[in-house]
Amino acid sequence: MRNARGGNNPDVCRFALDCEALGGEGITVHPRPDERHIRRSDVFALRPLLRTEFNIEGYPSREFIDLVLQVKPAQVTLVPDAPDQITSNHGWDTVAHQEFLSEVVGTFKEAGIRTSVFVDPDVTMVEYAAKAGADRVELYTEPYAAGYAAGREAAIAPYVEAAHAAKKFGLGLNAGHDLSLDNLAYFAQHVPHLDEVSIGHALICDALYLGLAETIRRYKQCLTIGN
């Protein structure tokens, strides 16, 4: 919204701090190469202000790696997005990109930054993320969201299996993409060992109708129900 109009309205830093004050337990940003969402300057501005966990996600280009190493967030999430991709729509093939991911993960771990790899809910992809040295995986949840209405039991099944695999291979477990007030509670109820979820687009859409405070309260309630 800000970038579409220019200026600084809405103020990204103020909004992030409001999310924290209202109960948000972490802030995730995705600085894309064209800066159409978060700008590099936003990342630097947010770092000293935030009191909760800061997660930077993106494709590990040289520029992105340098940015993360300068900012030193609590967590970096590696996604396989092309520069012109509208949004993330698949996880890494951690087998095919094993060498590349191992090198990138090693760089971040040397800097003391927890590293998560974005994967589809596939046991093999989870296993090879662990072999690459990742600390966590983030499960790509759009297929779950898309299949939820037609059959939530079938939609959740591969995520449960992937969660057990993550635990087996010593990985923490994150999840994100298209989780919403409609499907989050069921996901949290049935997927074990879940450390965190990242929710952006749906939360902002809900906040337009419910207000930010009520929206955050409802999302946290979904997670409480899940636990």
In the chain the first and final C-alpha atoms are separated, in Å, by: 34
Catalytic residue, candidates 20, 127, 177, 196: 177
- Can 177 be counted among the known catalytic residues? yes
Annotation says 161 is catalytic = no
Which of 57, 127, 138, 196 is flagged as catalytic? 57
Closest-CA residue to 139 (of 96, 82, 79): 79
Catalytic annotation present for 37: no
Closest by CA to 87, choosing from 157, 152, 136, 141, is 141
3-state secondary structure of 28: strand
Calculate Rg over the CA atoms of the chain: 17
Q: Which of 20, 30, 127, 138 is catalytic?
A: 30
| 30: nearest Cα among 62, 55, 6, 2 | 55
Residue 79, phi then psi, degrees to nearest 5: -120, 150
The residues that are catalytic are: 30, 57, 177
